Structure 1
Amino acid sequence: MKEKQLVEIAELQKGCEQGTFSLKLNWETLRSRVGKAGEDFFHYEGNTLIGYLAIYDFGGKIELCGMVHPDYRRQGICTKLVEKALLTAKKRDSRAILLNAPAESQSAKGFLATLPCRFDVAEYQMKWQETELTDYEGVTLRPSKEADKALEIQLDVDCFGLLQHEAASYYERIKKERLNTFVIVYEDQVVGKIRVEERDGEAWIYGFAVAPAFQGKGIGKKVLKQVILEQQKKGNPIYLEVEATNPAALKLYESCGFRSYHQQDYYLYNGS
């Protein structure tokens, strides 16, 4: 992908969303792909980008998210993009291929109804609302080191259901993309991890996990409050994502002031 194409994708996204829903394009990942090829699919009319689809590999599962400008829909453009992306996705060692669509997008749901897929899970995008925060001491965060590799991989196995080789591959990808991972230290032990990405005046929280043996001690809440306070000092609005099937995480986030503002729906591809 070229730097120029990032600008084109952003412009197309604005034209597609039009303030009615939010596409999940994983911008921190897209920026890391500049100069690389094979995971982004484009459709131009003249010199104008009017269709785009991306593949995202999240260790064990592949997600597809795409868009076509409203003025060019129902012309088979999205179908062609999906067909090309599926050819690439099927060659990879993944347990599932998921197609992502904003819950509010009727055009996306109509298109997905034409494909061999079924609804799998909903994901809430949440934004922090001003809330008084106390009792956040007792844990510390530090940047991830090479010595933390084994634990970080095991956290993805224990907390996110990845297989060992999937978690190892995902770890290497995160490091290669230079995404900001911090480990959580409690009583001189590394007990978890969290990723905080600051882009365009916003902060996003990803990959937040506490080892099962240390859950239920209030560690996650203290860490979350610390991250919120740090980003609040910088003036950054704070966002995160959580699956609807994870009520414990949802309860934690809501207790710290996060509120859902968008829903992303995922459909499991079951074609051959």
Structure 2
Amino acid sequence: MKNHPHILLKSYLNKDDIKAIKTLEQLCKEHDKTSLKLELEYKASISAGADPRLDEISEIMYFEDDSLVGYLGIGNFGSFEPELNGMVHPDYRRKGIFKRLYAQATYECSKTPQPHMLLLTDRDSVSGSTFVKNTGARLHHSEFEMYLDKKTLDQLPAIEPVITLRKASNQDTDEIARQNAVYFGCPIDEVQRLIPEEEEANGMTIFIAECGSTVVGKVHLALYDGVGSIYGLGILEAYRGKGYGKQLLRLGVQELLAKKASDVFLQVEAQNDNALQLYISSGFYVTSTMDYYLK
């Protein structure tokens, strides 16, 4: 007996959910030749052992005949605007499914303290860009997704780092918040406080960069399903212009490759030309552009 089309709301994703969403994601990416930013690996890591909280819905799934044909995820990152990204099976488009998903997501976001949300779409997605623009959202910023070319990396000249990486402990919580406030350009009381040992349990390891006994920066590394990712890389302003950024990036890449990462990727704001040039000169290349619209 076939079931009527229905929406399923969840706070966390289980293994079966992740599997179904990844299958739909792969189908959509192959059909559209575009990228999505669903953060499934991260969501899978935080789902382990989590207690569902029905008042904090972040996963919106649309089913027809027990098959997942639409999905929209809400990414909540502390004090920052929630990020929305999703998809609909190519055979089920032009039926208003994504409008229903978006309406539900808008309602869920209205329950949060944040007055705005970010709608994400690959720049090359005509349907995605059209939908987002029709909501009245305005372009806030864009990010390049970049992957490491290992052959290029192998051809780069060796460097002798003068900085070292130290795995952060919970005692570094204040330092991490201080650096994030600097890099994001916002008051420290608006920054999400990351607890290193909790983050590591969820798959993200934070490293403090030091030159001797002096803290000069930090980087966050993750490894999900064999794919390494680099986040939150930064050098404090007083120590810039010394090549520490390139050293920190190279050390982060080496750390992930030592853990058998088959690929390494990162994201960088399109307008951050200094960071973009650093990554290109370190063997990374742009694979897609994600536009963030503020609503």
TM-score of the superposed pair, with normalisation by structure 2? 0.84
**2:293 maps to what in 1?**
267
Give the 5 Å matches for 1:225-236. 225-233=250-258, 234=260, 236=262
Instruction: Find the counterpart in structure 2 of residue 61 from structure 1.
Output: 81
Does 2:132 correspond to 1:112? yes
Shift of 1:122: 1.4
1:17 to 20, 29, 33: 29
Distance 1:46 1:165, change over 3 A: farther
User: How many angstroms apart in 1 are the aligned matches of 2:250 and 2:194?
Assistant: 27
Residue number in structure 1 paired with 2:264: 238
Equivalent residue, structure 1, for 2:231: 206
Could you tell me whether the CA contact under 8 Å between 1:193 and 1:208 is conserved in 2?
yes
Task: Give, in angstroms, the shift of residue 157 of structure 1.
Answer: 0.5
Instruction: Give the direction of change, closer, same or farther, for the CA distance of 1:50–1:94 in structure 2 (3 Å limit).
Output: same
Q: Give the corresponding residue for 2:185.
A: 161
The alignment's TM-score, normalised by the length of structure 1, stands at 0.91
Q: Deviations over 1:83-139 (max 9, x none)?
A: 111122222233641100111111111222321212221110011122324224111
**Out of 11, 31, 39, which is 1:26 matched to?**
39
Moved more, 199-208 or 169-178: 169-178
The alpha carbon displacement at 1:230 in A equals: 3.6
2:191 aligned counterpart, secondary structure: helix
Alignment of 1:242-261 (within 5 A): 242-261=268-287
1:178 CA drift (Å): 4.8
The share of aligned pairs that are identical, in percent, is 30
SS at match of 2:275: helix
Residues 177-204 of structure 1 show CA distances to partners (whole Å, capped at 9, x for unaligned) of 4521111111212222111111222111
Residue pairs, 1:41-190, within 5 angstroms: 41-58=60-77, 59-94=79-114, 96-129=116-149, 130-131=152-153, 132-169=156-193, 174=199, 177-190=202-215
Whole-angstrom distance in 2 between the partners of 1:259 and 1:9: 27
Give the deviation of 1:164 after TM superposition.
2.1
- Partners of 1:95 and 1:190 in 2: how far apart? 35
Query: 1:217-228 residue pairs with structure 2 within 5 A?
Result: 217-228=242-253
Shift in CA distance, 160/206, structure 1 to aligned 2, threshold 3 Å: same
Is the aligned partner of 1:193 residue 2:218?
Answer: yes
Q: Deviations over 1:22-48 (max 9, x none)?
A: 111112322134254511111111211
Q: CA deviation at 1:176?
A: 7.0
Cα gap change, 1:165 to 1:122, in 2 (>3 Å) = same
Aligned AA for 2:119? L
Deviations 1:235-272 (A, max 9, x none): 53211100112111111111111111111111111xxx
Q: Report the CA distance shift for 1:118/1:147 in structure 2 as closer, same or farther (over 3 A).
A: same
Deviates more, 1:5-14 or 1:30-39: 30-39
- Determine helix, strand or coil for the equivalent of 1:216: coil
- On the 8 A contact 1:136/1:223 being kept in 2, the answer is no
Change (3 A) 1:169 1:232: closer
